[in-house]
Amino acid sequence: MRNKKAVTTLFAIFSCLLLVTGCSGSDEANDSKDGKTIEFMHLWPEGSSKQHHQIVSGIIKDFESEHPDVNIEMEVLSNEQYKDKLKVLSTSNELPDVGMTWAAGFMEPYVKGDKFASLDELLEGDLKDKFVSGTAEAYAVDESTYGLPLELNIATVFYNKAIFEKYGVDAPKTYEEFENIVKTLETNGVAPIALGNKDRWTGSLWYMYMADRLGEGKALTDAIDRSGSFEDPALASAAEEIQNLVDMNAFVKGFNGLSDEEAKSMFMNEQAAMYLIGTWDLPNYTTNEDVPQEFRDSIGYFSFPAVDGKGDTNSYVGGPGVGLFVAEDSDVKEEAKEFVSYFVQEWGEKSVTDAGVIPATKVDAASLDLPDMYVDVLDDLSNTSNITLFADVQMSADAAQVHLDMIQSLFGKEVTPEEFTEAHEKALLEE
């Protein structure tokens, strides 16, 4: 799944036993009675997230070297253990000075309970204009920011250039061109799009892009945050366009009963020409040595096109991964904020080159030795006008369940576009 699946992938990719509870820096620094200690808790154990762990340890070492009066005391837990401990510590006002959090629904209870400190001053200082548009905003509550994201995933349409070339089609710039690709491939017996909608969030990506383009970037988010409504005609039109694609046989046969892993396998085995997925899949098309080089060389990607001339192709569906918070009741709050600012700035390029991560901060891709596709994605992100957070991440748990169930029903043509939007509006009104 992607970050809930992006705000839960990185909501779901770390799974291991508790490995480390220890300190960074030298014994002399840790034993110092004159300096200040920042307690830092993160969720990248060396065993399951070696590259991430090494980057973090290196940043801490560098920070301590540049700030000899500050010691970072590090505790590392696996993903689920981290979440559980964070809850326990928050109830006793014993949160670490700096820790990791996720955006939106995960973070909000901590903010409402006055557990996380505002980080607005950092965004107005050294980190001003450092983040990709829409990433830091995902960590805002009531127009104040309480977390700074480290990672980012956006969804793009990956496609098989060899298949496209065989049938004389090119990456589309408009939705009409995209529909022509679908028709051409389907007529020639080639499955146009790999989709495993048994997992439902995969179908949500398609609907969200339709809604983003037809609603010109705002309609869906406005409907969810209640500044708008699911009765917006653009949201029903988006649902109608999804069913038009189903009628065109755009998706692989049996898509509503296939998992995302099965759909991915079909794309990787060249049984479908296109696959809409998050950039967490980039290594499969660039650096993953387990994937044949010939296949990796044959894969390109394109941004979801404008629909009926509407929408900005620099607007993406996606979301940030984990971010850093500073505890509101920290005894070393200013030092903690300085560490967070330092960490974010150091993390950017290191995370790309050492771990293949797409960071939430802007990166000068031309200065790095990276595969072309990484460079292209990073360049696109630097020009991003908007990132719409995954719909089920934006919603409460109950409303998200309705959304995912209705996505599968929409693709299965078990509901009309009007019934689809009405069910969402009802669920959101009941929150």
Q: Which pLDDT value is given to residue 235? A: 97
Q: Which pLDDT value is given to residue 34? A: 60
Strand 315-320 relative to strand 386-389: parallel, antiparallel, unpaired? parallel
Report the 10 Å Cβ neighbour count for 101.
Answer: 22
Residue 344 CB contacts under 8 Å (≥ 6 apart), including other chains: 127, 130, 148, 150, 324, 361
Q: Which pLDDT value is given to residue 303? A: 95
Which residue do the tokens 């950017």 mark? Answer: 348
**Full set of structural domains in the chain with CATH:** 36-151+318-384 (3.40.190.10), 154-315+387-428 (3.40.190.10)
DSSP 8-state symbol, 306: B
- The model's pTM is 0.76
Per-residue pLDDT of the chain (431 residues; tens, 9 = 90+): 444 333 333 333 333 323 333 333 333 333 444 689 999 999 999 887 888 999 999 999 999 999 999 999 999 998 889 989 999 999 999 999 999 998 887 888 899 999 999 999 999 999 999 998 878 998 999 999 999 999 988 999 999 999 999 999 999 999 999 999 999 999 999 999 999 999 999 999 999 999 999 998 889 999 999 999 999 999 999 999 999 999 999 999 999 999 999 999 999 999 999 999 999 888 889 888 889 999 999 999 999 999 988 999 999 999 888 999 999 999 999 999 999 999 999 999 898 888 888 899 988 877 888 888 988 998 888 788 888 889 988 888 789 899 999 999 999 999 999 999 999 999 999 87
The amino acid occupying position 279 is T
d(CA 213, CA 155): 14
d(CA 18, CA 343): 23
